[in-house]
């Protein structure tokens, strides 16, 4: 990429961010940890940010890939995912069981504007970073996926093995 086109891309990304500033504020609003509101799920539960045992950096890109796309975690461990969007479109990381993510992706195709902001997901604007703090209380094979319409189908899925 030439220096000029890199600048042009940066400008486009910046413009796109500006256009979505309002909605993104809601998404970016920092989820405050409240032990009393933590709900167990089939794939673990929201983690206490003060008990993070491992930080994993994950990159998202417009080639519809997560890097790394395969992570291993010890059962019971609280993990902080720091998710960086290297692309020029919105991406997100949503943790879940393979089944739940597949269903959620189908729903996103029908309702592309569906907004949600739960502890198991981070919506990340181009050039920005987001975080998910999650405690993997159950052993098994789970996934993380980008559920922006079409991204999941294009292969934007990663694997979490909890042992």
Name the segment binding Cu ion (CB under 5 A); options: 51-59, 69-77, 132-140, 145-153.
145-153
Q: Judged by CB under 5 A, does residue 151 bind Cu ion?
A: yes
Site for Cu ion in 82-121 (CB under 5 A): 91
- The H-assigned helical ranges of 20-97 are 21-28
Q: Judged by CB under 5 A, does residue 146 bind Cu ion?
A: yes
For 131, phi then psi, to 5°, come to -140, 145
Q: Which is nearer to Cu ion, 122 or 162 (CB)?
A: 122
Name the segment binding Cu ion (CB under 5 A); options: 22-30, 114-122, 128-136, 153-161.
153-161
Within 10 Å of residue 61's Cβ, how many Cβ atoms? Answer: 16
Q: Which residues bind Cu ion (CB under 5 A)?
A: 91, 146, 148, 151, 156
């Amino acid at each position: 990429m030439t220096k000029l086109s890199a600048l042009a891309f940066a400008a486009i990304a910046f413009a796109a961010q500006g256009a979505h500033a309002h909605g993104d504020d809601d998404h970016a609003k920092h989820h405050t940890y409240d032990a009393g509101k933590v709900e167990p799920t089939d794939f673990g539960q929201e983690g206490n940010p003060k008990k993070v045992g491992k930080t994993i950096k994950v990159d998202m890109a417009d080639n519809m890939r997560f890097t790394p796309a395969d992570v291993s975690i010890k059962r019971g461990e609280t993990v902080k995912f720091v998710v960086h969007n290297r692309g020029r479109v919105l991406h997100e990381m949503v943790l879940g069981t393979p089944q739940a993510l597949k269903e959620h992706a189908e729903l996103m195709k029908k309702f592309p504007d569906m907004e949600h902001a739960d502890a198991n997901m981070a919506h990340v604007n181009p050039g920005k970073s987001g975080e998910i703090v999650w405690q993997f209380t159950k052993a098994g094979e789970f996934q993380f996926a980008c559920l922006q319409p079409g991204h999941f189908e294009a292969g934007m899925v990663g694997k979490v093995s909890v042992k």
